[in-house]
Structure 1
Amino acid sequence: MQKKKRYILYGQQAMKTITNILLLPLLLVVMGCEVDMNINDHIDKNAPLKLTVHKRNKKTGFTSSDSVEIAASSDKFKRLIEWGNNNISGWEYTPASYVKEISVVQKDFRMLYTTGSNGVTIGFTDAEGNPKQYQKMVNAKELDFLSK
Structure 2
Amino acid sequence: MAASDWDHELFKVVQQKNRELTDSLEAISRMVDTRSYEKRELEDLLSKLRDLLELHFEIEERGSYLAELVGSEPRYESQVEVLLAEHRALLEELEKLRLLVRSGVESTALSIRSEDDFHKFVSRLLNHEHVERQLLQRAFSDDIGTGD
Output the TM-score relative to the length of structure 2.
0.26
**Larger Rg, first or second structure (1 or 2):** 1
Output the TM-score relative to the length of structure 1.
0.26
